[in-house]
């Protein structure tokens, strides 16, 4: 089922370095249409970089990235820009414009990209506010919203153009547990309602796996484990277990490792069977 569905995003042997330091060192990934996938791994491991590569805002030094069948390398800036209009993004720091109402925040991408009659724009915006349960808050300013409500407005703004692909980077950070649950269920509902595909980066492993169809664990610049949430939870890879269990020590030691220690830990973990 997982492999049978057509891929919306594919990464093939992607290599990306910042100066002399490889961030991604041969990443392969396949994301089927309609799926919600979780991308997990240690801080600084390159998760946000991967989202930027998929969105075409960064280009890899080598390897291929295909989105909706198109090789990003072969696309003009203009073609990438128009592809990006079909992508929605909710980043932890994608703050609302403080001097605009919830309505105008959600309307912003539509006003920027289209010249719509006011009545149609209003309908589109109110539909999205309704979808996140905030129709009644349309006229409020961000300062009048709770943290969780603000995040829901940002979510409505991220999907107002009906994207085919939605990126979430730490969408739960700074929220209370109830708001986290609400955002998680909205991510799932919106993905289904829009017929979209979602890529979710989060340190909140349990919440993330509760809505994901498939998870990837990134370490040392490579995907070291992937599978369904259940398969990942019962993984016998020590690295996967350390990430999912949030254990301070394991193959990735608590003490900041030297490059060699880390490389050796990854090698050991790899030889103990990490894929599913
Ligand atoms: N603009 C930049 N210039 C230079 N180095 C950068 C830049 N952005 C990220 N990096 C480096 O690239 C590496 C990967 O960063 P990235 O933000 O992709 O990791 P991450 O897995 O998303 O981390 P986190 O979970 O902490 O957000 C890190 O070592 C980071 O310091």
User: Where does a domain end: 109, 128, 162?
Assistant: 162
Pick from 38, 41, 42, 46 the residue to mutate for probing ligand 1's pocket: most ligand atoms within 8 Å of its CB.
Answer: 46
Neighbour-count burial of 44, counting CB atoms closer than 10 A to its CB (0-12 exposed, 13-18 middle, 19+ buried): exposed
What average pLDDT does range 136-151 have in this prediction?
Answer: 95
Q: Do 216 and 260 belong together in one domain?
A: yes
The answer, yes or no, to whether residue 14 has pLDDT greater than 90, is yes
> What's the confidence (pLDDT) of residue 276?
37
Q: Do 68 and 184 belong together in one domain?
A: yes
Q: Do 80 and 101 belong together in one domain?
A: no
Ligand 1: which residues within 6 Å by Cβ?
18, 23, 41, 43-49
Q: Do 136 and 199 belong together in one domain?
A: no
User: Where does a domain end: 119, 135, 162?
Assistant: 162
Q: Do 110 and 153 belong together in one domain?
A: yes
pTM for the full predicted model: 0.87
Atom 25 of ligand 1: nearest residue by CA position: 43
The residue count for the chain: 276
CB 129 within 8 A of CB 138: yes
What average pLDDT does range 192-221 have in this prediction?
Answer: 94
Question: Does the ipTM exceed 0.95?
Answer: no
Cα torsion 222, 155, 111, 108: sign:
negative
- State in Å: Cα 23 to ligand 1 middle: 8
The answer, yes or no, to whether residue 55 has pLDDT greater than 80, is yes
Ligand 1: nearest atom to the Cα of 52: 18
Pick from 14, 20, 24, 48 the residue to mutate for probing ligand 1's pocket: most ligand atoms within 8 Å of its CB.
Answer: 48
Domain that holds residue 124: 96-162
The domain that holds 13 is classified in CATH as 3.40.50.300
> What's the confidence (pLDDT) of residue 28?
97
- CA-CA distance, 106 to 104, in Å (whole number)? 5
- DSSP of 182-242: HHHHHHHHHHHHHT-EEEEE-S-HHHHHHH-SEEEEEETTEEEEEE-HHHHHT---HHHHH
> What's the confidence (pLDDT) of residue 273?
44
Q: Do 253 and 147 belong together in one domain?
A: no
Q: Would 91 be classed as within a structural domain?
A: no
Average pLDDT, rounded, for the chain? 89
Q: How many alpha carbons fall within 13 Å on the CB side of residue 26? A: 2
Atom 30 of ligand 1: nearest residue by CA position: 44
- The tally of domains found in the chain comes to 2
- State in Å: Cα 49 to ligand 1 middle: 6
Of 23-37, 231-245, 255-269, the one with minimum mean pLDDT is 255-269
Pull the structure tokens for residue 120.
């149609």
- State in Å: Cα 46 to ligand 1 middle: 6
Q: Would 276 be classed as within a structural domain?
A: no
Q: Would 65 be classed as within a structural domain?
A: yes
Q: How many alpha carbons fall within 13 Å on the CB side of residue 23? A: 19
């Amino acid at each position: 089922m997982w492999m049978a569905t057509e891929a919306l995003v594919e990464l093939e042997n992607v290599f990306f370095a910042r100066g002399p330091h490889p961030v991604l060192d041969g990443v392969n990934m396949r994301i089927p249409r309609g799926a919600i996938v979780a991308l997990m791994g240690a801080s600084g491991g390159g998760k946000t970089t991967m989202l930027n590569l998929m969105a075409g805002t960064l280009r890899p030094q080598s390897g291929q990235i295909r989105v909706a069948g198109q090789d990003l390398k072969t696309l003009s800036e203009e073609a990438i820009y128009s592809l990006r209009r079909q992508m929605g993004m909710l980043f932890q720091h994608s703050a609302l414009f403080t001097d605009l109402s919830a309505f105008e925040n959600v309307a912003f991408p539509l006003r920027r990209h289209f010249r719509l009659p006011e009545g149609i724009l209003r309908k589109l915006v109110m539909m999205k506010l309704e979808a996140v349960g905030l129709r009644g808050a349309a006229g409020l300013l961000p300062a009048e919203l709770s943290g969780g409500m603000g995040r829901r407005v940002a979510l409505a703004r991220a999907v107002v153009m009906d994207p085919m692909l939605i990126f979430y980077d730490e969408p739960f950070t700074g929220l209370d547990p109830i708001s986290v649950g609400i955002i998680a269920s909205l991510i799932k509902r919106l993905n289904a309602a829009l017929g979209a595909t979602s890529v979710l980066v989060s340190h909140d492993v349990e919440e993330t796996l509760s809505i994901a169809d498939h998870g990837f664990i990134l370490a040392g610049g490579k995907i070291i484990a992937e599978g369904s949430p259940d398969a990942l939870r019962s993984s016998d890879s020590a690295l996967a277990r350390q990430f999912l269990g949030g254990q301070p020590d394991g193959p990735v030691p608590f003490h900041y490792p030297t490059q060699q220690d880390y490389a050796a830990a990854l090698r050991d973990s790899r030889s103990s069977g990490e894929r599913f």
